[in-house]
Structure 1
Amino acid sequence: MSGDKYAVFGLVIESEIALPELLPAPDGATPDVAIRVGNAGEEPLISAEEVNLVVPKVASYRIRGGREIVFAPREGASERNIRLFLLGSAFGAIIHQRGLLPLHANAIDISGRAVAFMGHSGAGKSTMAAWFLDRGHRILADDVCVVVPDAAGVPLAYPGIPRLRLWREALERSGRNADELELAFDDMDKFNLPTPRPSQSGPIPLSHVYLLEKAEDQASQIQPLSGVAAVDALVANTYRGGYLARMGGTKRHLLACLHLVKRVPVFRASRLWGFDGYDEEAERLEQHARSLVGREAPIKQPA
């Protein structure tokens, strides 16, 4: 196979289709995952050996061994839509096949530590990340934050796709013109906001995790989660976690979540819905995050 090489989630991708959303891989890097056009099958399947995803009017994707994605585009499908599912659901299967932990979360860099904001679709992860971006923080990951422990067991968060996907209302509220940006998906009022591309694609330690939720009353709160509640939050907010039972990965995934909550604090951050008072609530969250990062030991620089 011959194609361009890219880096994302700590993996090197060699692809027959251009993936302009991703960072280029370092020169000479050995591919971990190959993406090519071919016969991908027409029957949906999720098993321990492979995953076949069929997206009507877009493409079918066959994912095998954590190393290969073969896709068959539908006639007339746009490359934008093909890439959306390729880098989304199909790559979620690759990540699970490789035994990695993908949180359904955005992650930002605060003083060299990753802070993750997880939640269901529509919980406000990308809107919160855009608020931090506008205040000078680097966006580490959008929608999918892959966490892998290092040799010492320290959870590391790996860079994801350098962009945010935002609805028109959120973009315009931040002072941006949605019509100047690329649509995230055909016929959807959601747009890709490119974020600054880092000079290196290495991971950084994960400081802590917030679960974004809607406040049930008129008060925003940040509450620690521990034990079963913390593990349940991670399990429920694992990207494409529904694949795991049929892939035979449930036990491995649960152990990964248990390890994470032993090393990383998890908080429930409930907030009032809408944009009234949004800045004040986000500032409160930023102050909380900074206070936790400030208590951690400095990151040792290589000699």
Structure 2
Amino acid sequence: MGPEHVRENTPGKKERAEPMSLRLILFISLIFVFITTLTVPVDADESGVSSKPQQAEHVLATLGSPVITASPGQRIPLILSLRADDTWHLYWSNPGDSGMPPRIRMDLPDGVSQDGEWILPPPRHLIAGGMGTLVLDHDVILLTYLQISDSIDAEHIAISLRGEWLVCDDHMCLPGNAAMELTIPLGTSSMASSGAWHDRLQTAKERAAQTLEQQPLAHYANDTVVIPIPDAVHAAADRVIFAPSTTRIINLSTPQNMGADNGSAILTLSSAFTQPPETLQGLLVGLDAEGYPMASWELSAPLTAGE
């Protein structure tokens, strides 16, 4: 070893600087670590990918997916979790007499497109202060899908999302918003078989509106609307509500009453229309024992005049 590699410890003499070759190796190593940090997503693990959670006005917002690695040409799920604090709620797509549904703006890279609208869970009917609303409680899971182009040329997908909402309790309402970033690696397709995002996807699918084999025939008279409850719906849920997809169709400030007519279950509602629509559009929502939604069915029932 040459003298330039020897550190002198003689009193009164300064140690020599490290040789240039060692400095160069250290510099290159630091650059490699920096580049790796930029290019390798840090939000991917065996349970999927997740953004950094954002706390905003009684709501914890997180963007994620059970996808571990996506591949070109694949259609993948994307989930926005809005977890409201106890006693606080958000609003459905038709909020009712007041409120605002979640509003989402998303920036996607070239080669990636949104495939379908955001799917909201079914709502709960809430009457308070003389107004009727359709609300979302607890862990509100919004689901959509992304379609990746076959010809995409990238190592990962970078997604930017901004959400806005109104969150309320029995005393006040507060506007909230959050911005989230999510990176999904591209490579050989891999999906988590367990974990939080896998469970949220399964919950969203279970709560998604089912298709009725046959639509019931609804009728109206004076200020009342009656919807026969299909047997498949009544077999799955003892309590059912109707969530109209648009306003000014049903008076949500009054209770919706389950009953029977000639041995068949019916739902009696108060109308809010001045001109009756041709069909009632919305969801039939099955409730659990505590009054929270557990399943839903798409309703497009012809509406005719009755006695």
Interval of TM-score (by shorter of Structure 1 and Structure 2)? under 0.3
Larger Rg: 2
Q: TM-score, normalised by structure 2?
A: 0.27
Could you say which structure has the greater relative contact order, defined with CA pairs below 8 angstroms and 6 or more residues apart?
2
Q: TM-score, normalised by structure 1?
A: 0.27
**When you count helix as a share of all residues, which structure comes out higher?**
1
